[in-house]
Structure formats: structure tokens, C-alpha cells
Amino acid sequence: MNKREISHILAAIIILAVISSFGPIFKTGYSEFPKILLFSAIIIGVSIAGKKIVAFLLDSDVEHEIWQFQRFGWKPHYYLPNKLPFGIIIPLFFTIFSLGFLKVCTILTYEARALKYRASRRFGFYSFTELTDWHNAIIGAAGIISVLIIATVGYLPGIEYLSKMSAFYALTNLIPYSKLDGTQIFFGSRVLYTALLVISLIFFVFALII
């Protein structure tokens, strides 16, 4: 993990904490922010760890960054002059616009790549030198599944809000747009994507009613 990735991860933890605490701040003040910041670190940390573990098992590596947006429209040459940090803009916009009701956690994206020794580890076949869309989908799914596991554990007394945050994080990151996790899973496996979407929706609905 390089310094750039670490800085993006730390920024993502802060952003997730800000959008997740926006609602509670109106009720209890800033006293809940340290706990929510810890929850944010747990959610993002576990999600990243899940992806990196699966990537390691596939003789690959995965790097995370704040969601950057530059290409627009249908034509390949349509690009903005500079990248926009949508991973900061979009979550904060929906949070402020809805006064904390809409928690859109589309903060981080990832890029997986095969390690140099992957070909030799995979019996020397050149077809294994690059990751397939299926492999990439598994890596992305590992992050979502890890967060859903947290959502299950989070229903323990005293940390229910951790479960709510996890449910919002899992569902919104399944949006199949740009380089978000949902896009990479969707194009790797429609079946896997559908299964994760249904499960995440169940957790999301349950989080709304508790």
C-alpha cells in the first residue's frame, strides 16, 4: 500500500464519517462524531482488506482512490479538462441537500491488476497473465460481502448505527456507474451482482426500520 493510496483511504474515512454524522449531529451534537469516525474506519478498512485478501489469492493487487470523474458522454474522446473528485462532491451534495437523510457512500473506487509472477504461478499459460472480468468482479464482491458481514454483527446492542452505515455503504457502492464497485461487479457477473443487490436491499430496508 503506497502513500497515495493511504491518503485517499484516510480521506474516505473522514468523508464517510462526515456524511454519516450529519443527521445525528442535529439530535445529539458532536458527541457522536468520534464513534462514527471509528465506525467509518471499520467499514472502509474491512472492505479494503476483503478486496486485498481476495486479490492476493488471485496473485493480484488492488489499489484504491477517491472516485475521480473525467469522461462524459457516449463518445470516447469526451473528457473534462481536469478530473473532478466525485467521491467527495456527490456524497456531500446528497447529504447537505437531504439534511443527512440520503447517505450516498460512493467514495472510493478500485483498480485490480495482475502481479508480474501471476503467469508462472498459474502454470505458465499466457491466458492467466491478466485478470478477467470475473476475477475483477470477485474482488469487488469481496468488499461488499465484508461490509454486509459488518452489517450483521452491527445489530448487537449499542452499535446498531454501525449496521445502518454498513447497509448504506454496501447498497450505494453497488450503483453500476463509472468505476464504482457496482460497475466492476456487474460487468464481471450479472448473477453475482444481482445476488449482492438483493441482499444489500434487504439489509438497507431493515436498516431503515430499526
pLDDT in tens, 44-100: 999 999 999 999 998 889 999 999 876 554 555 555 567 788 999 999 999 999 888
Q: What is the pLDDT of residue 72?
A: 54
More confident residue, 25 or 208: 208
Q: What is the pLDDT of residue 104?
A: 92
Kindly tell me if the per-residue pLDDT of 22 is higher than 50: yes
Residues whose CB falls within 8 Å of the CB of residue 62, separated by 6 or more in sequence, listed in order: 51, 52, 55, 110, 111, 112, 113, 139
Residue range of the domain that includes 185: 3-209
CB neighbours (10 Å) of residue 187?
A: 14
Average of per-residue pLDDT across 131-155: 91
* Total domains present in the chain: 1
DSSP state of 18: H
Q: What is the pLDDT of residue 79?
A: 57
The DSSP result for 55-123, as a single string, is HHHTTEEEEEEE--EEE-SSSTT-EEEEEE-HHHHHHHHHHHHTTTS------EEEEEEE-TTHHHHTT
* Relative orientation angle of helices 33-57 and 133-153, to the nearest 10 degrees: 140
Q: Which amino acid is at 102?
A: L
Average of per-residue pLDDT across 35-42: 94
More confident residue, 196 or 84: 196
Q: What is the pLDDT of residue 116?
A: 58
Maximum Cα–Cα distance across the chain: 60
Residues 159-176 pLDDT 10s: 888 999 999 999 999 999
Residues whose CB falls within 8 Å of the CB of residue 155, separated by 6 or more in sequence, listed in order: 163, 210
